[in-house]
């Protein structure tokens, strides 16, 4: 069973009470952007108190400062005027449970979904797989505070990012819903 009918029905309900959201401006009203993980347990609108039109939310696996995340951040300030940025990783992130070697090996074996056990991900599917995963940097994580600090540093040092934008580094705790500051990241991300 596909989720498609449920999603279309939920959207019809949402649009039925759309109201003055049709008048929202394109630039984010509260002038900030959040880079965070795609993890389904994280809802940035809820954990950071956002309404439609408030802020940019850029999501990928891990909330990592990939070239494409930086592309979005640059558009966010250069064309749409954001002035403060957050990098928010989280506890129990799936990106901690594998390495480049592991996902490359899994994909080379099989394109079917792997299983996660005590020893990490393992294949339960059948082949053929493909070796194209060898060419992707999967940006896995071994320590959250380190990954947040590395990503804030990469954004801070990027030649297209102005020194006046403060970049805050936080870890979202999936057990409490709290945002925990990563002081080393905030230090690195301080505006000049
Ligand atoms: Zn995650």
CA of 62 to the centre of ligand 1 (A): 4
Q: According to the model, what pLDDT value does residue 119 have? A: 87
Q: Output the known binding site for Zn(2+).
A: 37, 39, 90, 93
Q: What is the mean pLDDT of the chain?
A: 97
CA of 70 to the centre of ligand 1 (A): 18
Give the pLDDT band of residue 23 (cuts 50, 70, 90): very high
Q: List the shell of residues around ion ligand 1, using CB closer than 5 Å.
A: 37, 39, 93
Helix axes 67-78, 144-156, angle to 10 degrees: 50
- Predicted confidence (pLDDT) at residue 1 exceeds the cutoff of 90: no
Mean pLDDT of 23-30: 98
Q: According to the model, what pLDDT value does residue 40 have? A: 98
CA of 184 to the centre of ligand 1 (A): 20
Mean pLDDT of 56-65: 98
Distance between CA 45 and CA 53 in Å, rounded? 11
CA of 32 to the centre of ligand 1 (A): 21
- Give the residue among 189, 183, 182 at the shortest CA–CA distance from 91: 182
CA of 185 to the centre of ligand 1 (A): 18
Q: According to the model, what pLDDT value does residue 61 have? A: 98
Distance between CA 27 and CA 45 in Å, rounded? 17
CA of 175 to the centre of ligand 1 (A): 14
- Predicted confidence (pLDDT) at residue 64 exceeds the cutoff of 90: yes
Token pair for residue 18? 């759309």
Q: According to the model, what pLDDT value does residue 25 have? A: 97
Distance between CA 111 and CA 89 in Å, rounded? 27
Prediction pTM value: 0.96
CA of 15 to the centre of ligand 1 (A): 30
- Predicted confidence (pLDDT) at residue 84 exceeds the cutoff of 90: yes
Could you give all domains of the chain from N- to C-terminal order, each with its CATH number? 26-98+141-192 (3.40.1050.10), 99-137 (no CATH)
Q: Is residue 93 exposed (0-12), middle (13-18) or buried (19+ Cβ within 10 Å)?
A: buried
What percent of the chain shows pLDDT beyond 70? Answer: 100
Cα-based torsion angle of the residue sequence 40, 45, 48, 54 in order, rounded to the nearest 10 degrees: 150
Q: According to the model, what pLDDT value does residue 27 have? A: 98
Token pair for residue 180? 């925990």
Mean pLDDT of 61-83: 98
CA of 144 to the centre of ligand 1 (A): 10
174 CB neighbour count, 10 Å cutoff: 14
Q: Output the known binding site.
A: 37, 39, 90, 93
Give the pLDDT band of residue 189 (cuts 50, 70, 90): very high
């Amino acid at each position: 069973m596909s989720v498609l009918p449920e999603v279309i029905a939920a959207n019809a309900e949402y649009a039925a009470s759309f109201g003055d959201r049709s008048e929202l401006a394109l630039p984010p009203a509260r002038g900030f952007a959040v880079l965070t993980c795609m993890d389904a347990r994280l809802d940035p609108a809820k954990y950071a108190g956002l309404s439609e039109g408030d802020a940019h939310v850029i999501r990928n696996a891990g909330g990592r400062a990939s070239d494409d995340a930086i592309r979005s951040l640059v558009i966010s300030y250069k064309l749409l005027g954001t002035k403060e940025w957050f990098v928010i990783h989280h506890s129990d992130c799936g990106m901690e449970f594998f390495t480049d070697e592991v996902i490359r090996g899994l994909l080379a074996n099989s394109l079917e979904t792997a299983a996660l056990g005590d020893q990490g991900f393992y294949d339960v599917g059948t082949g053929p797989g493909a070796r194209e995963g060898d060419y992707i940097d999967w940006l896995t994580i071994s320590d959250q505070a380190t990954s947040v600090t590395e990503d804030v540093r990469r954004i801070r040092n990027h030649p297209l990012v102005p020194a006046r934008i403060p970049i805050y580094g936080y870890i979202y705790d999936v057990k409490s819903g709290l945002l925990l500051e990563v002081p080393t990241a905030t230090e690195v991300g301080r505006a000049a």
